[in-house]
Amino acid sequence: MSTELFGVIATYAITLVLAIPLGRYIARVYKAEKHWSDFLLPLERGIYKLAGVDPNSEMDWKQHLRALLTINALWFVYGFFMLLGQGGLPLNPDGNAGMTPDLAFNTIISFVVNCNLQHYSGESGLTYLTQIAVIMFLQFVSAATGMAALAAVFKALAARSATGLGNFWMYFTRSITRILLPISLVTAFILVLQGTPMTFDGRSTVTTLEGTEQQITQGPTAAMVAIKQLGTNGGGFFGVNSAHPLENPTYLTNMVEVISILLIPIALVFALGFYLQKKKLAWTIFGVMTMGFVLFAAGSILAESHGNPAIAALGIDQPMGSMEGKEVRFGSEASAYWGIATTATSNGSVNAMHDSMTPLSGALQMLDMMINAFYGGVGVGFLNYFVFLIIAVFIAGLMVGRTPEFLGKKVEAREMKIATLIALLHPFLILVATAIASYTITHHGDAAWSVVPANWLNNPGAHGFSEMLYENTSAAANNGSGFEGLGDNNFFWNFVTGLVLILGRFLPIIGPMAIAGMLAAKKAIPEGDGTLRADTATFGGLTFTLIFILAALSFFPALALGPLAEYFDMAQ
Domains of the chain by residue range = 383-571
CB 204 within 8 A of CB 218: yes
**Which residues have a Cβ under 8 Å from the Cβ of 568 and sit 6 or more positions away?**
none
How far does the chain reach from its first CA to its final CA, in angstroms?
Answer: 30
> Which H or E run contains 125?
helix 122-125
**pTM, entire model:** 0.95
**% of the chain beyond a pLDDT of 70:** 97
pLDDT at position 21: 97
Q: Is the pLDDT of residue 472 over 90?
A: yes
Axis crossing angle, helix 380-400 with helix 537-561, rounded to the nearest 10 = 110
Instruction: Give the span between the Cα atoms of 558 and 465, in whole angstroms.
Output: 9
Angle at 56 between CA 55 and CA 60, to 5 degrees: 95
pLDDT at 42: 95
pLDDT value of residue 206: 82
pLDDT band at 448 (very low <50, low <70, confident <90, very high): very low
* The pLDDT value given to residue 450: 52
C-alpha distances (whole Å) from 272 to each of 115, 168, 171 are 24, 17, 15
Identify the pLDDT of residue 218. Answer: 85
Instruction: Output the CA torsion sign for 420, 421, 423, 427.
Output: positive
Mean pLDDT, residues 183-195 taken together: 97
Closest CA to 245 of 273, 276, 269, 217: 217
Task: Give the DSSP letter string of 48-92.
Answer: HHHHT--TT----HHHHHHHHHHHHHHHHHHHHHHHHTGGGSSS-
Burial class (CB in 10 A: 0-12, 13-18, 19+), 399: exposed
Sign of the C-alpha dihedral, residues 381, 465, 429, 449?
A: positive
The pLDDT of residue 232: 95
pLDDT tens digits along 156-166: 999 877 778 99
Helical H segments across 277-330, by residue range: 279-305, 309-312
CB 345 within 8 A of CB 375: yes
Rounded Cα distance, 482 and 181, in Å: 28
Q: What distance in Å separates the CA atoms of residue 274 and residue 471, rounded to the nearest whole number?
A: 37
Region 98-125: what's the mean pLDDT?
A: 94
pLDDT digits (tens, 9 = 90+) for 52-65: 999 999 999 999 99
Q: What is the pLDDT of residues 428-442, one digit of tens each?
A: 999 999 999 988 877
Q: Average model confidence (pLDDT) for the chain?
A: 92
How far apart, in whole angstroms, are the C-alpha atoms of residue 264 and residue 261? 7
Q: Which tens digit of pLDDT belongs to each residue from 381-421?
A: 999 999 999 999 999 888 877 778 888 888 999 999 999 99
CB 555 within 8 A of CB 549: no
* pLDDT attached to residue 447: 47
The span from the CA of 497 to the CA of 368, in Å, is 19
Q: What is the DSSP string of 323-340?
A: -TT--TTTHHHHHHHHHH
The whole-number average pLDDT for the span 251-273 is 97
pLDDT band of residue 180 (cuts 50, 70, 90) is: very high
Cα atoms in the 13 Å half-sphere on the side-chain side of 224: 32
Predicted pLDDT at 59: 95
User: Residues 313-370: pLDDT tens digits?
Assistant: 888 888 899 999 999 999 999 999 999 999 999 999 999 999 999 999 999 999 999 9
Q: How far is CA 537 from CA 20, 280, 288, 349, in A?
A: 20, 10, 9, 33
Q: What are the C-alpha distances in Å from 201 to residues 127, 205, 544?
A: 12, 12, 50
For residue 459, pLDDT over 70 is answered with: yes
Residue 404: what pLDDT? 86
Whether 376 contacts 267, CB under 8 Å: no
Burial 159-191 (b: 16+ CB within 10 A, else e): beeebbbbbbbbbbbbbbbbbbbebbeebbebb
Residue 47 above 80 pLDDT? Answer: yes
Q: Is the pLDDT of residue 491 over 60?
A: yes
